[in-house]
Amino acid sequence: MITVLVEQRVRRRFKMAATTGGDTKERSQRYFSIYQGVDAIPPTEPPTEPPTEPPTEPPTEPPTEPPTEPPTEPPTEPPTEPPTEPPTEPPTEPPSSSCDWTYSFYDEFGPEKWWQLVTPANSFWCNGVRQSPIDLQTQFVYINSRQNSLLITNLNEVPTNIILTNTGHGAQIEFRFPNNDQIIVAGGPLPIGKQYIVAHAEWHWGNVDCSGSEHLLNSKRYAAELQIVLYDSTHGSYERAKDQYQGLAAMAFFYKLDDSEDSDFQIKDELSNIIEPYSTFEGGAPFPFIDLFKHEFYDYIAYSGSLTRPPCYQTVQWMVSTKPLKIKSDDLVELRKIKDCNGDELHRNFRPCQNSLSRPLNGYYL
Which residue has better confidence, 47 or 253? 253
User: Which of helix, strand or coil describes residue 189?
Assistant: coil
C-alpha 271/C-alpha 257 separation (Å) is: 19
**Considering the entire predicted model, what is its pTM?**
0.73
Angle at 209 between CA 336 and CA 249, to 5 degrees: 75
Q: Residues 75-88: what's their mean pLDDT?
A: 44
C-alpha 308/C-alpha 351 separation (Å) is: 6
Q: What percent of the chain has pLDDT over 70?
A: 73
Band of residue 106 on the pLDDT scale cut at 50, 70, 90: confident
- The amino acid that residue 162 corresponds to is I
Phi and psi at 337, nearest 5°, equal -80, -15
C-alpha 99/C-alpha 310 separation (Å) is: 12
Band of residue 61 on the pLDDT scale cut at 50, 70, 90: very low
Contacts of the segment 294-297: beta carbons below 8 A, 24+ positions apart: 294/264, 294/325, 295/323, 296/152, 296/155, 297/149, 297/150, 297/366
Q: Are strands 300-305 and 361-364 parallel, antiparallel or unpaired?
A: antiparallel
C-alpha 94/C-alpha 104 separation (Å) is: 15
pLDDT at position 44 is 41
Residue 106, exposed/middle/buried by CB under 10 A (0-12, 13-18, 19+)?
exposed
Q: Residues 217-244: what's their mean pLDDT?
A: 97
pLDDT at position 331 is 97
Which residue has better confidence, 28 or 111? 111
C-alpha 258/C-alpha 57 separation (Å) is: 104
Neighbour-count burial for 45-65, b at 16+ CB within 10 Å, e otherwise: eeeeeeeeeeeeeeeeeeeee
C-alpha 154/C-alpha 152 separation (Å) is: 7
C-alpha 97/C-alpha 85 separation (Å) is: 20
Angle at 214 between CA 155 and CA 293, to 5 degrees: 20
Band of residue 314 on the pLDDT scale cut at 50, 70, 90: very high
pLDDT at position 11 is 55
pLDDT at position 259 is 93
C-alpha 347/C-alpha 187 separation (Å) is: 36
Superfamily covering domain 133-364: Alpha carbonic anhydrase (3.10.200.10)
Q: Which helix (H) or strand (E) holds 151?
A: strand 150-152
C-alpha 40/C-alpha 30 separation (Å) is: 15
- Of 155, 169, 87, 144, nearest to 297 by C-alpha is 155
Question: What is the chain's mean pLDDT, rounded?
Answer: 82
Band of residue 365 on the pLDDT scale cut at 50, 70, 90: confident
pLDDT tens profile 140-150: 999 987 767 89
Angle at 182 between CA 308 and CA 154, to 5 degrees: 105
C-alpha 70/C-alpha 76 separation (Å) is: 12
Band of residue 322 on the pLDDT scale cut at 50, 70, 90: very high
pLDDT at position 170 is 97
Band of residue 97 on the pLDDT scale cut at 50, 70, 90: low
Residue pair 173/267 in contact (Cβ under 8 Å)? The answer is: yes
Residue pair 338/170 in contact (Cβ under 8 Å)? The answer is: yes
Asked whether residue 75 carries a pLDDT value surpassing 60, the answer given is no
Q: Where are the domains of the chain?
A: 1-84, 133-364
Asked whether residue 96 carries a pLDDT value surpassing 90, the answer given is no
pLDDT at position 277 is 97
| DSSP conformational letter for 234 | G
Which residue has better confidence, 52 or 222? 222
